[in-house]
Structure 1
């Protein structure tokens, strides 16, 4: 679908001021016809941020001749920024031609300035000892070269002085690749992540690769073997076993005393200390020579033996498993776990801290308070462009390391 826009501008200043401020509302793929009082206004618009990024813009300016209007077209990458293409003389055009030609299919050898820095595997910059560039290669570099070849353009590569993506200063300016794009020193920046913060400067492409975010922390050593004695049961199970051990002795004593009034139970079972000792032995599968005589006491002891046999078999089977396999400490699985751990995080730059702060998830927002930039994290953070390596000394100091990743676009 082709979207067209027609602006009849007696006073172009409000229009130009509005789109200098709110350029993100502009439809860069639309076709525009601007009727302006002079060519200077059209040239000023073409030199603006949105004018340099819009393919189809047509300017109509009234000439000094009565009933004549001159048509101008933006050149984009075709040499001079503005070219006169036609004239409307009273009732017709003086030339028959396409007012909105495809300006991206063939760039006529125009130079495309492309900026990047060493961030593998997407882009590499090999330098000599004197810092001169020896070679540029990588996934994004080859993609841009192929695109330039198809569009009949020349790819000219450069790198920012800071050799990073860049962030926004408090005064509104940018540094790094973002600064070069913001100052219009280059046409394309490659090896980018798609983020909300960066979308206000460049026009980001659709992502062509997905690079998930990964949190890395120093692995704690396995728990000592002696603790395996407690692993087979959950803490609530151990609590239930303890309650059963405490209560079973007095219950046996009460049943024996009730049966003893009728003369049908052994006297030693009617003693509280002996009943407790009896129930304690049953829990450890130790048989007693004393057997209850009354029916109620026999039923209770039979139930107690069945209960302790099931408990003992379950415990022994689970204990063998925990003795054979070392139990690892509990891991963090969610952002809530990450926040509640209270660990300090290290991140490369402010990308993640700013992104987390704008998240709708309350725990991700809370995590932001624990994120330190690469400079603040100091030696605890070791991030390479090809791999992440935590050294022995750094691993002892680092509580948590944050490895960056997201969708990437050229």
Structure 2
């Protein structure tokens, strides 16, 4: 059991108001769960609370912390603190909420907290501190999406995230469908803080390839186990996302371990840092760029014979050609090992069936059997191709056009007739033959006096 001791002390303060000096009683509230203490400004800042500082009509409050266990009592109003030494129900509402006990209405009291309750509260304070640090230092100019499940609905962690000054969207997730209203695009950089104790909803959502997702965003998970995080990075969305990190509480300590996905660097989540009382224990990069140096990772290329772009001279031999040279250049610059595989003969780029499943090279990419394909590919939306694969920026520009034979020059003796078609000349001659007699008759017919 943890013993919580709360002391209320009446103190006389001399306050200067203009030329007058008056004596006023204020109240100090000391909250102890042992010997180690944390200054009030530090704790209240991360809990989104404020502290009254020697102002008339306010109770001056101090906060102490043992083993990172705290009871926040900040900015308490009192119309006349000299009339009573006991705090009001309103003034200690936050302490009641966190400790789940009624505080004593006298100057000193003893309250016993269960071990798990104290540890949970301690962990929430540290986690809120860690996430606030990341938001201020790594998401400073980013918009935020904060998603949480019911386990975090009343937590100090969620409260701290809501207090962040960023442009943000806050979503409570009870089922995978609750993600449908999430804004996955932004003109700013994008940060995602996901607070989940139950991994079911987020696992179901990340394993659906058709749902929207920000693959270039930076994701921070809290509340899940390392095993659950490793399951997320194997889902259809997770395995193609560059930045996925997660905080996991160290058992029986006040420490949070931070893990990071490796994308192409390796399997699973790797430990990159630890958050203790005041900060990270090392200066390691939390969101390193993982696509500039792939550290020799094997990257699978699918292609097929299509001269002069890709040429397979003989079975078992490495192909060559213009597009193979481009792939070799990428492997050298990005430091990956190129593994070339041939797509089925005769299927070329591929065609979709009625269900939108492709065969050929595009089918291999759609089913994630290869990382990229290259063979004189055109950026096109034909057959709804963009729903199956993504295109890089083009590195070669080709043009299509129509060609026709130029007619030879017209002989000079035909130059008068050439401007008009034969049918025009025939109609003209017929008109002359018909109109000429009529004009002659009208000109030479009988006249009347």
User: What TM bracket, shorter-length normalisation?
Assistant: 0.5 to 0.7
Q: Is the 8 A contact 1:32 1:58 kept in 2?
A: yes
Equivalent in the alignment of 2:289: 102
Cα drift, residue 27 of structure 1: 2.2
Alpha-carbon spacing, 1:55–1:242, altered in 2? closer, same or farther (3 Å): same
Q: Is the 8 A contact 1:23 1:50 kept in 2?
A: no
**Structure 1, residues 307-332: CA drift from partner, whole Å, max 9, x if none?**
xxxxxxxxxxxxxxxxxxxxxxxxxx
Alpha-carbon spacing, 1:13–1:248, altered in 2? closer, same or farther (3 Å): farther
2:332 paired with 1:146:
no
2:437 paired with 1:249:
yes
Q: Hey, what's the Cα distance between the residues in 1 that align with 2:215 and 2:189?
A: 12
Equivalent in the alignment of 2:231: 44
Cα drift, residue 46 of structure 1: 1.0
Equivalent in the alignment of 2:316: 133
Cα drift, residue 240 of structure 1: 4.4
Q: Is the 8 A contact 1:126 1:133 kept in 2?
A: no
| Aligned partner of residue 114 in structure 1, secondary structure | strand
| Aligned partner of residue 305 in structure 2, secondary structure | coil
TM-score norm. by structure 1 comes to: 0.54
Q: Hey, what's the Cα distance between the residues in 1 that align with 2:198 and 2:430?
A: 88
Q: How does 1:6-405 map to 2 (within 5 A)?
A: 6-21=193-208, 23=210, 25-127=212-314, 132-162=315-345, 163-171=347-355, 173-191=357-375, 192-196=377-381, 197-213=384-400, 233-234=420-421, 235-236=423-424, 238-258=426-446
Cα drift, residue 108 of structure 1: 1.6
Q: Which has the higher contact order (CA 8 A, sep 6+)?
A: 1
Cα drift, residue 216 of structure 1: 9.1
Q: Is the 8 A contact 2:206 2:232 kept in 1?
A: no
Q: Hey, what's the Cα distance between the residues in 2 that align with 1:155 and 1:120?
A: 20
Q: Is the 8 A contact 1:125 1:136 kept in 2?
A: yes
Q: Is the 8 A contact 2:219 2:243 kept in 1?
A: yes
Cα drift, residue 30 of structure 1: 2.1
Q: Is the 8 A contact 2:206 2:238 kept in 1?
A: no
**Structure 1, residues 200-238: CA drift from partner, whole Å, max 9, x if none?**
233210223333446799x9xx9xxxxx99965234564
Greater share of residues in helix = 1
Q: Hey, what's the Cα distance between the residues in 1 that align with 2:293 and 2:319?
A: 25
Q: Hey, what's the Cα distance between the residues in 1 that align with 2:403 and 2:363?
A: 31
Q: Hey, what's the Cα distance between the residues in 2 that align with 1:236 and 1:39?
A: 86
**What runs of 5+ residues in structure 1 fail to find an aligned partner?**
223-227, 263-410
Alpha-carbon spacing, 1:145–1:232, altered in 2? closer, same or farther (3 Å): same
| Aligned partner of residue 331 in structure 2, secondary structure | helix
Q: Hey, what's the Cα distance between the residues in 1 that align with 2:268 and 2:342?
A: 25
TM-score norm. by structure 2 comes to: 0.50
Equivalent in the alignment of 1:5: 192
Q: Hey, what's the Cα distance between the residues in 1 that align with 2:223 and 2:309?
A: 45
Q: Hey, what's the Cα distance between the residues in 2 that align with 1:139 and 1:36?
A: 50
| Aligned partner of residue 161 in structure 1, secondary structure | coil
Alpha-carbon spacing, 1:202–1:36, altered in 2? closer, same or farther (3 Å): farther
**Structure 1, residues 332-361: CA drift from partner, whole Å, max 9, x if none?**
xxxxxxxxxxxxxxxxxxxxxxxxxxxxxx
Alpha-carbon spacing, 1:62–1:167, altered in 2? closer, same or farther (3 Å): farther
Alpha-carbon spacing, 1:63–1:172, altered in 2? closer, same or farther (3 Å): farther
**Structure 1, residues 177-206: CA drift from partner, whole Å, max 9, x if none?**
122223322211112222322222332102
Q: Is the 8 A contact 1:24 1:200 kept in 2?
A: no
Q: Hey, what's the Cα distance between the residues in 1 that align with 2:425 and 2:199?
A: 78
Q: Is the 8 A contact 1:33 1:57 kept in 2?
A: yes
Q: Once superposed, what is the RMSD of the aligned Cα atoms? A: 3.2
Give the count of matched residue pairs.
Answer: 251
**What runs of 5+ residues in structure 2 fail to find an aligned partner?**
1-187, 409-413
Cα drift, residue 261 of structure 1: 6.0
